[in-house]
Each structure stands twice: as C-alpha cells, then as structure tokens.
Amino acid sequence: MRTAWLIALAGSCAAHAGEFPRELRAWRGSTPVVDGRLALDEWSDAESFEGVLGWTHQFSPTTNPEDLSVKGWVKFDDEALHFAFEVRDDILYGIDTPRWLPAENPRAHELTRDGWPWFGDGIELLVNAANRWRDGEHAAGDGSSWQMVFNLTKSRLGGVGTPGLMEGEPRSKASAWDSYRRWIETGAMRAAARVRPEGKGYTMEWSLRFDPCLETSPGVCFKPGERETRMGFNIAICDTDTEEAGKGNFGSIHHEDWFAGERDRRTELRQWGVLRLMPGKKP
C-alpha cells in the first residue's frame, strides 16, 4: 500500500526525520501481553492518540467515525516498542463480506511477493529509526527504516483467514521481504487481534523488539536512555469494505487514512511525522 513545510534539500543531501507537522510521544511503561485483548489498566501508562478524522485520506475520505475510526496507545519497555489499537469499522472485509479480489490483482491474497499484503482491513506501521532521509526516498526494508503490515484476515504465520503480520513494502526488494519474514517468524515482531464482541471493529496489539527492528545507526539499535530519541513515523488504517463501496478507487479500496503525509506521497520518508521516545515514565 500506499506540504512539506520546510524548504526541500537537494536530492543528494540527507536531512533529519520527516517534515510532516504531526508527532506522537512514547514513554517507558509496563510490558503488555500481546493477545489482542486490551485488558483493564494494561495501557493506562501509555500515550494515547485518536484518528482518522483529520488524517490524510488516500482514497475516499472518511467522514463518519462509525464508518472508520481508531483509538491507539504507544509505550516501550526495556526491550520493545508496543502499540495497541481499537478500531471501529462498520463492515469487516472477509468477515462481513466475501473475500472478493480486486481487478488490478487477482493474486492479492497470495502470501508471496506477487500478493498484496495490505489488501483487506488492517494497519500499517512505518518507522524511520535512523531518523534520516533523502528527497523522494522510501523505506529501506531493514532495521533503519521499514513499512510493515497487520492484516485482519491473513498473516504470514496463520495463512489466509488468520489475523496477523505480513511482509510490507518494498515487496520488490528481496532483502526487505526476507528481513520482514524473519522478524515475523522469529518473534522480533508480534501482533494479535480480536474482532470486537459486538462486531463493528477489532482490537489489536503489536510489539517490536528494538533489536533488530529499530536500528538508529549501522549495527546499533535503540536503547532507552536519559535523552529523548526521535524517529520518523507513520500509521495507515485500511478499510476495504465492499467492492461497490470502493468503486473508482485503486483496488476498489474504500478508505486508507494516514497519520502523516500528503496524498500519493505518504510513504516517502520525508512525508512522515515524528515518534518521540521520551526518557522516563509518562508524567
């Protein structure tokens, strides 16, 4: 899947972080159980955020929170960064609808580089741990910068029909695909989700280890310390719905809302916001 407020630098020049004026803070907290169930007080020590109204829409704009909205939480412990999401979604693809396939790719559900890992309902996380970019650059597909996918109805570990993590972009880069797959299979990244008891959405938890997923410089991964660390950051919430609902959009996807970035450019490192890893616990 898939303005700047500062003056653009020449394409050969590196710069710090993304330029989109949106940020999220994370504080040190307790270690959650990654089971998709948001237990009482499990995320009370985390920073919270909400969307998707006011975010960037790639396809049809979201205007009703009951159609699509999200509440999220983020924190970290000694070894990993943790996210939780509560998504409201009135129609769940592949659960409330058939598993229809887009005309653009009838192989979308294959768990290969020819498939579309992000097709369906789900969430993408994008992190630029190295906190640097060059003009027009996208994720490298390694610990320095990456784009990973959670899908509600398919996963690398469980296959089609089971929620979980999928290799993200750039799928065209074999080394990225291999790194992502290794992270999932070794548990360096873990995620779990549950459809909400009343339907109309789902809850999800996602944890990723600093080593190897947050490489701040070559061979060096993030460690909590006494100073704030900034990383480029983005989130996408995908809501596929019925084929008719997304008619006229690429892949007939209904909604795809982004925390940061301009439409059609939201996967460029320069277009991302900032994740601020703060020293100490949440005040």
Is residue 156 within 8 Å of residue 96, measured between CB atoms? no
Please enumerate in sequence order all residues whose Cβ is within 8 A of that of 20, keeping only pairs 6 or more positions apart, or say none.
4, 5, 260, 261, 262, 271, 272, 273
* Mean pLDDT, range 262-277, rounded to an integer: 97
Rounded to the nearest integer, the mean pLDDT of the chain is 93
* Mean pLDDT, range 25-33, rounded to an integer: 98
Is residue 206 exposed (0-12), middle (13-18) or buried (19+ Cβ within 10 Å)? buried
Q: Are strands 273-281 and 23-28 parallel, antiparallel or unpaired?
A: parallel
CA 222 to chain centroid? 19
- Lowest mean pLDDT of 3-7, 64-68, 257-261, name the range: 3-7
Distance (Å, whole) CA 253 – CA 247: 8
Is residue 30 within 8 Å of residue 78, measured between CB atoms? no
pLDDT-based confidence at 17, cuts 50/70/90?
A: low
Closest alpha carbon to 279 in 235, 230, 208, 220: 230
Whether residue 10 has pLDDT greater than 70: no
* Mean pLDDT, range 186-199, rounded to an integer: 95
Distance (Å, whole) CA 102 – CA 250: 9
Domains (ranges, CATH) in the chain?
43-281 (2.60.40.1190)
Whether residue 28 has pLDDT greater than 50: yes
Return the DSSP state at 242: -
pLDDT-based confidence at 107, cuts 50/70/90?
A: very high
For 18-118, strand residue ranges (E) read 23-28, 47-51, 56-57, 68-76, 80-89
At 119-172, the pLDDT tens digits run 999 999 999 999 999 989 999 999 999 999 999 999 999 999 999 999 999 999
Whether residue 3 has pLDDT greater than 80: no
Distance (Å, whole) CA 127 – CA 175: 17
Phi, psi of 63 (to 5 degrees): -120, -10
Is residue 63 exposed (0-12), middle (13-18) or buried (19+ Cβ within 10 Å)? exposed
Is residue 206 within 8 Å of residue 83, measured between CB atoms? yes
How long, in residues, is the chain? 283
Neighbouring CB atoms inside 10 A of 205's CB total 25
The pTM of the full predicted model, rounded to 2 decimals, is 0.92
Distance (Å, whole) CA 26 – CA 229: 10
